[in-house]
Amino acid sequence: MSASPIPETNGGGLESHVTVQKRAYYSPPWADVSIIGVAGSSGSGKSTLSQAIVKKLNLPWVDSFYKTLTPAQSKLAFANEYDFDSPDAIDFDVLVEKLRDLKAGRRAEIPVYSFAKHARLEHTTSIYSPHVLVLEGIFALYDPRVIELLDMGIYCEADADTCLSRRLVRDVRERGRDIEGIIKQWFGFVKPNFEKFVEPQRKVADLIVPRGIENRVALDMMVQFVEKKLFEKSRHHREALSRLEVASKDSPLSDRVVVLNDTRQLKFMNTILQDIDTDPEDFIFYFDRLASLIIEQALNNAHFEAKKIVTPQGYEYKGLVSTGEVCAVIVLRGGSAFEPALRKTIPDCRTGRLLIQSDYSTGEPELHYLRLPDDIASQESVLLLDTQMATGGAALMAVQVLVDHGVQQDRIVLATYSAGKVGLHRLTSVFPEITVVVCNMLDYQQERWVEKSIYLSTTKELKGKA
């Protein structure tokens, strides 16, 4: 349900539109991760096979879910007398928890285990937004809870002599262990546990791969399976974006889209920025001025509370004070152009970064890098900075990332230099409570020329000073 737009002008000379609209639904591409489990005996080639799939398709790979050892267990481990090849050594509860987080589209902190120290390390590996994940380990197909979460189960097998020789080479080269200890562990734990716990997983596997990495046919089959999954996810995501565009085409613009009033001063600065003959120094100077205006308007949407103060002259002044901290998240690479203005406006502002790029073949936005303040969910306001928004695909993904990290919609303010109406409709129909501050609103899609101009202007300026 929607109402006709009612043009308004607020006290700051900013034009907006009042609307009532139904919220649309958007499911990010990482909301249903496909997980491939690769199991097999120690030395069967499962790690090499997993790494080959990862290398071919640039996928995340996890294999470190051993339990934290007690001092007594650690002593046994250094004496090669602790059984790492028993299901009891694996922390299945943590594994299932992390896999469920990933299936739900949430970030997961994967533990890192050091075989040289026989202990979990303090740091973890963050995994976020994978389309497909490879889970590798001798018990990848052991726990029924894990099997339920898998889209494909693979079992690697090789003869015992080959497995032992591979384990000898790996443990000496990568884990700093001695040959005598490796052989002792092999016959004491590895071989008996293989027959008891590992080999039965063969029955639940979707694909059995003899000879591991040497089996090129099996490797090609797995790669084709993953590529098919990736293609299906990409197609569904692009179809969802297209449906959003159709659904919002005739809808009025949200009242939470704030467009800077097109004053003579604003037109003057826009003319300079869009003139092909503009000097590099002038381009940078005037873009910084405009960026400052955009950020200042974005800060008007932060949360404030009333406060009375006493002036040096002894008068009482009824003013406002911010109710909390403001942080900024820069959408790379275009959002970096806002940093100089951000530092002038809020010198001590903490920042995070997102890198979202569109796939060259499908046009689908993909998240490549993520670094956010640890307490971003408790920030009073979060400024999301990007120079331009066309279709809204990258903006949808960026806002979804913030929401996934606990940021409330009404605390997110997207600040951008220019935005297409289609992209604005898409974004605000899915996230109706966020605020968007834009300098130029366009009826058409425009290529990302601002960041290119900033880069060229900066390069010319540096060369001129050299």
Q: What is the CATH number of the domain that holds 369?
A: 3.40.50.2020
Average pLDDT over residues 292-305: 88
**Does 150 map to a domain?**
yes
Which of 377, 295, 396 is closest to 341 using CA atoms?
295
- Res. 195: pLDDT tops 90: no
Write out the two tokens for 123: 């740091």
Q: How confident is the model at residue 5 (pLDDT cuts 50, 70, 90)?
A: very low
The confidence band for 1, taking pLDDT boundaries of 50, 70 and 90, is very low
Q: Are residues 76 and 220 in the same domain?
A: yes
Higher pLDDT, 197 or 459: 197
Within this chain, do residues 188 and 258 fall inside the same structural domain, yes or no? no
Among 235, 268, 285, the domain boundary falls at 235
Confidence at residue 162, expressed as pLDDT on a 0 to 100 scale: 66
CB-side neighbour CA atoms (13 Å) of 119: 9
CATH of the domain at 129: 3.40.50.300
Q: How would residue 338 be classed by pLDDT, with cut points 50, 70 and 90?
A: very high
**Pick from 248-252, 290-294, 325-329: least confident:** 248-252
Tokens of 357: 């790029």
In this structure, the answer to whether residues 175 and 260 fall within a common structural domain is no
Q: List, for residues 449-465, the tens digit of each pLDDT value.
A: 777 777 666 666 555 55
Is there a single domain that holds both residue 212 and residue 267? no
Closest residue by Cα to residue 331 from 457, 227, 415: 415
Q: What is the pLDDT of residue 329?
A: 95
User: Token digits for 262?
Assistant: 């097109």
- Are residue 281 and residue 196 in the same domain, yes or no? no
Do 354 and 405 touch, CB atoms closer than 8 A?
no
Give the tens place of pLDDT for each residue, 155-181: 887 766 666 666 666 666 666 677 777
160 shares its domain with 266: no
Give the chain as a 3 state SS string. Answer: CCCCCEEEECCCCCEEEECCCCCCCCCCCCCCCEEEEEEECCCCCHHHHHHHHHHHHCCCEECCCECCCCHHHHHHHHCCCCCCCCHHHECHHHHHHHHHHHHCCCCEEEEEEECCCCEEEEEEEEECCCCEEEEECCCCCCCHHHHHHCCEEEEEECCHHHHHHHHHHHHHHHCCCCHHHHHHHHHHHHHHHHHHHHHHHHHHCCEEEECHHHCHHHHHHHHHHHHHHHHHHHHHHHHHHHHHHHHHCCCCCCCCEEECCCCHHHHHHHHHHHCCCCCHHHHHHHHHHHHHHHHHHHHCCCCEEEEEEECCCCCEEEEEEECCCEEEEEEECHHHHHHHHHHHHCCCCEEEEEEEEECCCCCCEEEEEEECCCCHHHCCEEEEEEEEECCCHHHHHHHHHHHHCCCCHHHEEEEEEEEEHHHHHHHHHHCCCCEEEEEEEECCCCCCCHHHHHHHHHHHHHHHHC
Residues 14, 42, single domain; the answer is: no
Based on the structure, what is the number of domains in the chain?
Answer: 2
- In this predicted structure, the answer to whether residue 4 has a pLDDT above a threshold of 60 is no
| Mean pLDDT in residue range 431-460 | 78
Sort residue 354 into left (φ over 0), alpha (ψ -120 to 50) or beta.
Answer: beta
Same-domain status, 396 and 419: yes
Per-residue pLDDT at 17: 35
Tell whether 243 is covered by a domain: no
> Do the domain assignments include residue 426?
yes
Q: Is 184 inside any structural domain?
A: yes
pLDDT for 466: 53
CA separation, residue 114 to residues 111, 170, 333, 430 (Å) = 10, 14, 36, 43
pLDDT > 60? residue 6: no
pLDDT band at 191 (very low <50, low <70, confident <90, very high): confident
In a domain, 394, yes or no: yes
User: Are 16 and 38 found together in one domain?
Assistant: no
The b/e string for 201-215 (b: 16+ C-beta within 10 A; e otherwise) is: beeebeeebebbbeb
Domain range holding 202? 34-235
Point out the domain boundary residue: 208, 235, 262. Answer: 235
| Single pTM value for the model | 0.62
Distance set, CA 162 to CA 41, 158, 197, 422 (Å): 11, 7, 19, 59
**Mean pLDDT computed over every residue of the chain:** 78
262 or 445, greater pLDDT? 262
Looking at the domain assignment, is residue 244 inside a domain? no
Q: Which of 184, 200, 235 is the last residue of a domain?
A: 235
Q: Give yes or no: residues 398 and 427 share one domain.
A: yes
Q: What's the pLDDT band for 9 if we cut at 50, 70, 90?
A: very low
